């Protein structure tokens, strides 16, 4: 029991006594060095984004100590990672690799199996191995954040952009492994990677793509960061959103810098929603749209200011009462967006003359919706969110999205992110399910849609108070019902929090779970002792399967 008398979970790998664990830890310290192995025996601190824990999920949905590490190790090299993997096989201790652990909303640094040993790769393996300005590519270790890469590119005065997600503090490699997205034309992070180096669960080392062919005189292959597929089956994909290997180096393509113009378009009516989606589709398919634009509900014009809900809605500052539509409307009407319902954020790229032509085409297409208005950065005050979009859409990392967390006290967030066709009627169905269930479970709804030519990611953030057990229970209940209801219509999630991985994996069950059975065959072949990240993305090794771990 901790000082407050609450029972705490013993921070040990499953089925191992404290004595045996301490012996195994002493052995690992002997191989890696005393300072690079840390028992997780101190109180858990949630910290904040920049000082996030590597011991548990700072945005806990269940008890803070449910998804907890028994120890954290800090390898300094690829051979160190191989040593850790072999040690884990010997002692049958589950290990859980993270790059930097800033995977907020999806589990952070937490392992799925409590008591796993977290491998914090990023702390010491943080080198920019190479930036090839001619090839517009780089080769990175796990600890390189978007900010670090950005600063290095600026320092070397290279005419290259990096592509960041909404928050720039995370690992470039880690985000790509989890198939995160960004907002320049290079926003598909896994799609823009080129070549990997991986420590397999048995400790062997593998290079994918052209890296599998040695370069002359022992050098890396000269086209490792130039051609993705090389020869034979493309194996890279199985190392994303999986537990088949630990990625220790990864190559990325970088976008050459260019002129750009960000803008927002506002739409007056809630009902304009399906029509907006149908206008975006051909523009995106024809590549008139320069990046994957965002369509946001107007409530977000309030939430991205950094003011709390209490500020906008005095007396209603918690999740107890949802902010009413007329209160949102009242405030929005005094803001640059005006009294609108949806706001589209886009950016165009290329030479200035081409951008001007594109903007004319886009304006004309959206003019089919009465009352739509286009605003440019010079039309809004300097603190407006559009200026943060300008940065992130032109390769400059930002932290602006953290402002969200002021909405309710002790805020944490979870994301529900189903994929649907880019079609008005599908957009309405997804939005209908989400709106109905948010109302039922009592949360404010902040829809953001990342709309591409053929599919769109509907991102619904659930902001809850971490200090309230009831809110956590409701957030999890909402999430489970969202996943189930969306799946009934054929809408599946592109990514999810650790706790919902089994449920989401279970919705991809076509052909009597053919895909999961295939993944399990791979898992058992590659990781016979089941030590690497058991349960990640719903993939359980034989040793754990069907023993009550699936939730």
Q: Closer CB to ligand ADP, residue 13 or residue 97?
A: 97
What distance in Å separates the CA atoms of residue 84 and residue 92, rounded to the nearest whole number? 12
Q: Give the residue, chosen from 13, 75, 114, 174, that forms a contact with ligand ADP under the rule CB under 6 A.
A: 174
Q: Give the residue, chosen from 105, 114, 143, 170, that forms a contact with ligand ADP under the rule CB under 6 A.
A: 170
Q: Is 251 in the site for ligand ADP (CB under 6 A)?
A: no
Only one residue has tokens 């320069």, namely: 290
Q: Closer CB to ligand ADP, residue 349 or residue 404?
A: 404
The values of phi and psi at residue 13, to 5°, are -65, 150
Q: Closer CB to ligand ADP, residue 173 or residue 299?
A: 173
Only one residue has tokens 């799946």, namely: 487
The torsion of the CA quartet 109, 115, 116, 118, rounded to 10 degrees, works out to: 40
Q: Is 301 in the site for ligand ADP (CB under 6 A)?
A: no
Strand ranges for 26-149 from DSSP E? 37-39, 69-73, 95-98, 116-120, 128-132, 137-140
Q: Is 538 in the site for ligand ADP (CB under 6 A)?
A: no
Q: Closer CB to ligand ADP, residue 103 or residue 507?
A: 103
What distance in Å separates the CA atoms of residue 201 and residue 523, rounded to the nearest whole number? 9
Q: Is 101 in the site for ligand ADP (CB under 6 A)?
A: yes
Residue 240 CB, nearest approach to ligand ADP (Å): 8
**494 included as an active-site residue:** yes
**146 included as an active-site residue:** no
Q: Is 175 in the site for ligand ADP (CB under 6 A)?
A: yes
Q: Give the residue, chosen from 64, 137, 171, 319, that forms a contact with ligand ADP under the rule CB under 6 A.
A: 171
The values of phi and psi at residue 365, to 5°, are -60, -45
- Which part of the chain contacts ligand ADP (CB under 6 A), choosing from 30-38, 93-101, 322-330, 510-518? 93-101
Q: Is 52 in the site for ligand ADP (CB under 6 A)?
A: no
Q: Is 177 in the site for ligand ADP (CB under 6 A)?
A: yes
Ordered DSSP codes for 110-143: --SSTTEEEEE-TTT---EEEEETTTTEEEE-TT
Q: Closer CB to ligand ADP, residue 99 or residue 394?
A: 99
What distance in Å separates the CA atoms of residue 112 and residue 101, rounded to the nearest whole number? 13
* H or E segment to which residue 518 belongs: helix 510-526
Q: Closer CB to ligand ADP, residue 103 or residue 184?
A: 103
Number of residues forming the site for ligand ADP (CB under 6 A): 22
Dihedral sign computed on CA atoms, order 183, 136, 235, 83:
negative
What distance in Å separates the CA atoms of residue 527 and residue 46, rounded to the nearest whole number? 32
What distance in Å separates the CA atoms of residue 153 and residue 162, rounded to the nearest whole number? 9
Q: In the window 178-207, what residues touch ligand ADP (CB under 6 A)?
A: 178
* H or E segment to which residue 105 belongs: none
What distance in Å separates the CA atoms of residue 497 and residue 12, rounded to the nearest whole number? 22
Measure CA 294 to chain center: 16
Residue 67 CB, nearest approach to ligand ADP (Å): 11
Cβ-proximal residue to ligand ADP, closest one: 174
Q: Closer CB to ligand ADP, residue 142 or residue 195?
A: 142
Contact status, residue 467 vs residue 64, Cβ threshold 8 Å: no
Q: Give the residue, chosen from 40, 99, 300, 394, that forms a contact with ligand ADP under the rule CB under 6 A.
A: 99
Q: Closer CB to ligand ADP, residue 101 or residue 290?
A: 101
What distance in Å separates the CA atoms of residue 111 and residue 11, rounded to the nearest whole number? 12
- Which part of the chain contacts ligand ADP (CB under 6 A), choosing from 37-45, 169-177, 257-265, 485-493? 169-177
Ordered DSSP codes for 292-316: --EEEETHHHHHTTS--HHHHSTT-
- Which part of the chain contacts ligand ADP (CB under 6 A), choosing from 173-181, 283-291, 369-377, 440-448? 173-181
Furthest CA-CA distance within the chain: 72
- Which part of the chain contacts ligand ADP (CB under 6 A), choosing from 30-38, 148-156, 166-174, 452-460? 166-174
Q: Is 102 in the site for ligand ADP (CB under 6 A)?
A: yes
Token pair recorded at residue 266:
């506002």
Which of the residues 106, 150, 458, 491 is marked catalytic?
Answer: 106
Dihedral sign computed on CA atoms, order 540, 180, 103, 439:
negative
Binding map of ligand ADP across residues 231-250, x = CB under 6 A, - = no contact? ---------------xx---
Q: Give the residue, chosen from 94, 97, 209, 447, that forms a contact with ligand ADP under the rule CB under 6 A.
A: 97
Which of the residues 49, 147, 494, 508 is marked catalytic?
Answer: 494
Residue 508 CB, nearest approach to ligand ADP (Å): 18
Q: Closer CB to ligand ADP, residue 185 or residue 201?
A: 201
Residue 25 CB, nearest approach to ligand ADP (Å): 22
Q: Is 393 in the site for ligand ADP (CB under 6 A)?
A: no
Which of the residues 148, 466, 495, 536 is marked catalytic?
Answer: 495
Which candidate, 452, 460, 295, places its Cα nearest to that of 389? 295
Only one residue has tokens 């190479």, namely: 130
Q: Output the CA angle 31-36-37, nearest 5 degrees.
A: 80
Residues with catalytic roles: 106, 494-495
Contacting residues toward ligand ADP, per CB under 6 A:
97-103, 107, 109, 121, 142, 170-171, 173-175, 177-178, 246-247, 533, 536
């Amino acid at each position: 029991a901790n000082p407050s008398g609450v029972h705490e979970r013993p921070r040990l790998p499953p089925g191992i006594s404290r004595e045996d664990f301490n012996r195994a830890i002493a052995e690992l310290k002997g191989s890696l060095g005393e300072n690079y192995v840390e028992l997780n025996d101190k109180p858990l601190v949630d910290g904040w984004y920049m000082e996030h824990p590597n011991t548990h999920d700072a945005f806990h949905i269940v008890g803070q100590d449910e998804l907890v590490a028994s120890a954290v190790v800090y390898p300094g090299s690829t051979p160190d990672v191989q040593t850790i993997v072999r040690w884990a096989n010997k002692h049958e201790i589950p290990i859980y690799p993270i790059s930097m652990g800033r995977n907020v909303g999806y589990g952070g640094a937490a392992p799925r199996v409590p008591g796993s040993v977290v491998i914090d790769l990023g702390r010491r393996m943080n080198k920019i191995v190479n930036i090839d300005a001619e090839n517009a590519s780089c080769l990175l270790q796990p600890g390189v954040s978007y900010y670090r890469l950005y600063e290095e590119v600026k320092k070397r005065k290279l005419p290259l952009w990096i592509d960041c997600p909404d928050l720039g503090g995370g690992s470039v490699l880690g985000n790509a492994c989890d198939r995160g997205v960004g907002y320049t034309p290079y926003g598909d992070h896994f799609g823009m990677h080129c070549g990997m180096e991986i420590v397999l669960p048995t400790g062997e080392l593998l290079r994918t793509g052209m890296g599998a062919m040695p370069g002359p005189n022992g050098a890396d292959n000269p086209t490792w960061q130039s051609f993705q597929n090389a020869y034979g089956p493309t194996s890279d994909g199985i190392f994303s959103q999986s537990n088949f290997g630990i990625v220790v180096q990864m190559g990325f393509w970088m976008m050459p810098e260019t002129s750009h113009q960000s803008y927002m378009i506002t739409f007056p009516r809630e009902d304009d929603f399906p029509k907006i989606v149908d206008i975006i589709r051909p523009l995106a398919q024809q590549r008139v749209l320069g990046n994957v634009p965002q369509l946001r509900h107007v409530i977000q014009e309030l939430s991205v200011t950094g003011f709390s809900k209490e500020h906008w809605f005095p007396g209603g500052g918690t999740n107890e009462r949802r902010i009413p539509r007329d209160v949102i409307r009242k405030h929005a009407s005094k803001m640059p967006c005006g009294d609108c319902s949806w706001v589209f954020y886009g950016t165009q790229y290329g030479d200035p003359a081409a951008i001007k032509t594109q903007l004319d085409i886009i304006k004309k297409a959206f003019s089919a919706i009465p009352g739509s208005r286009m605003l440019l950065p010079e039309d809004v005050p300097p603190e407006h969110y559009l200026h943060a979009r300008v940065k992130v859409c032109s390769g400059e990392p930002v932290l602006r999205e953290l402002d969200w967390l002021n909405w309710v006290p002790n805020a944490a967030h979870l994301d529900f992110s189903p994929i649907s066709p880019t079609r008005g009627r599908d957009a309405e169905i997804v939005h209908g399910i989400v709106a109905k269930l948010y109302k039922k479970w009592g949360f404010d709804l902040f829809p953001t849609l990342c709309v591409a030519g053929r599919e769109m990611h509907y991102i619904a953030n659930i902001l809850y108070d971490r200090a309230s057990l009831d809110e956590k229970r409701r957030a999890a209940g909402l999430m489970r019902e969202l996943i189930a209801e969306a799946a009934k219509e054929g809408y599946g999630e592109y990514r999810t929090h650790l706790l919902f991985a089994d449920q989401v994996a279970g919705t991809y069950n076509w052909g009597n779970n053919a895909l999961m059975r295939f993944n399990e065959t791979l898992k058992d072949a590659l990781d016979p002792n089941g030590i690497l990240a058991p349960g990640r993305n719903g993939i359980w090794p034989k040793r754990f399967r069907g023993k009550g771990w699936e939730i």
